[in-house]
Amino acid sequence: MCYRQHVKSACQLLVLALPMLAFSALGQPLDIRIAFVGAPDSAAHHGALLGLDEAKVQGEFLGQRYSLAVLEPNLEATSNFTAFVVAAAPEILLRLAERFPSQPVFNVSQTADDLRADCHPNLLHVMASDEMRSKAIGQWQQANPEASEVTARAWHPAFEKYAATQLNKRFEQKYGFTMNDDAWSGWAAVKLLSDMIARSQTGDGATLLAAIRENLAFDGQKGMDLSFADTGQLRQPLLLVVGEKLIGEAPVRGIADVEDLDSLISTVCAK
């Protein structure tokens, strides 16, 4: 009886102490290590570096410390990273996704649709797919039958709305060249990851992967809250470009509901 009571009070003490332990854990900055797999001089890497800078600013206020290591695609990665941001060939993406099943692996360069249809649970495609681009162009041509030679992009240096100007300026001032699809995707991967880390106060890959797949409402500075489809594809508006001139946005008004980002996606999981 006495023993039980002791156990009970000990338990009560522990229950009381746990939140305090958690609080003191919050007092220590959380160290977050992110791996970038790809060429150091790539646009995607520069985008990821800008995302890292911005994550550091947020982390200073909310208690996270970030670092980004560049790994050569051919080297064997180690597991002590919270997430992988990958600008490398599909086989490298797939190898990383299989080797680290509980870590988010962000694809920031590959556009192939079959990678999406594979539906790896931890493979997250920030880069817009081929399908999204052709659907965006299709919507545009439906609205403008005379249109030709239109391309669809994830990002454009002349994009100004929704604070795109500010993001373009930050990038160009820092690196001396303009932000493109790869750079935006690299930036977005680190930014959406760090925002979820701040919200969930954890560096645990599996917890973050679940939260990113289920609860993401990311501001990619494209005017809408972005989230991942079941295929792991980031839903996002695309920009329509002729020559190097920005001519419109998709979903295209009049053809689709401009907020219906799924109007650019029909790929479903093959399995």
Partner 1 sequence: MNRLGPGYKFVVAAGFWVCTNLAYAAPRIFVTNEGGDSVSVIDAATNQVTTTIAVGKRPRGIGVSPDGSEIYVAISGDNAIAVIDSESLAVIRTFQSGNDPETFAVHPNGNLYISKEEDAKASVYDPKSGELIAEIKVGIEPEGVAISPDGSRAIVTSESTNMLHVIAIPEHSIVANILVGARPRAASFSADGKVAYATSEISGEVKKVDVASGKIIGRMPLADNKAKPKDILPSRDGKQLFVAGGRANRVFVLDEKTLEIVDEIPVGNRVWGLALNQDGSRLYTTDGASDQVSVIDTHARDVVATIAVGKMPWGIVIRE
Supply the minimum distance, in Å, between the C-beta of residue 9 and partner 1: 30
Q: Which parts of this chain interact with partner 1 (CB under 8 A)?
A: 54, 57-58, 61-62, 163, 166-167, 169-170, 195, 198-199, 217-219, 221, 223-225, 259
Closer to partner 1 by CB, 204 or 219: give it.
Answer: 219
> Which two structure tokens, joined as six digits, stand for 181?
């699809």
Supply the minimum distance, in Å, between the C-beta of residue 92 and partner 1: 31
> What is the spatial distance between Cα 173 and Cα 22, in angstroms, rounded to a whole number?
40
Element (H, E) at 85: strand 83-87
Tell how far CA 151 is from the center of its chain. Answer: 23
Supply the minimum distance, in Å, between the C-beta of residue 258 and partner 1: 10
Which amino acid is it at 7? V
Closer to partner 1 by CB, 114 or 257: give it.
Answer: 257
Closer to partner 1 by CB, 38 or 157: give it.
Answer: 157
SS3 242: strand
Supply the minimum distance, in Å, between the C-beta of residue 172 and partner 1: 12
> Which two structure tokens, joined as six digits, stand for 94?
């797939």
Closer to partner 1 by CB, 98 or 259: give it.
Answer: 259
31 pairs with which residues across the strands?
65
Closer to partner 1 by CB, 167 or 238: give it.
Answer: 167
Which amino acid is it at 259? E
Concatenating the DSSP letter of every residue in 37-91 gives EE-TTSHHHHHHHHHHHHHHHHHHHHTEEEEEEEE-TTSPPPS--SEEEEES-HH
Q: Up-side HSE of residue 86: CA atoms within 13 Å toward CB? A: 27
> Do 108 and 34 contact (CB within 8 A), yes or no?
no
> Which two structure tokens, joined as six digits, stand for 143?
């609205």
Supply the minimum distance, in Å, between the C-beta of residue 89 and partner 1: 32
Closer to partner 1 by CB, 63 or 90: give it.
Answer: 63
Supply the minimum distance, in Å, between the C-beta of residue 49 and partner 1: 15
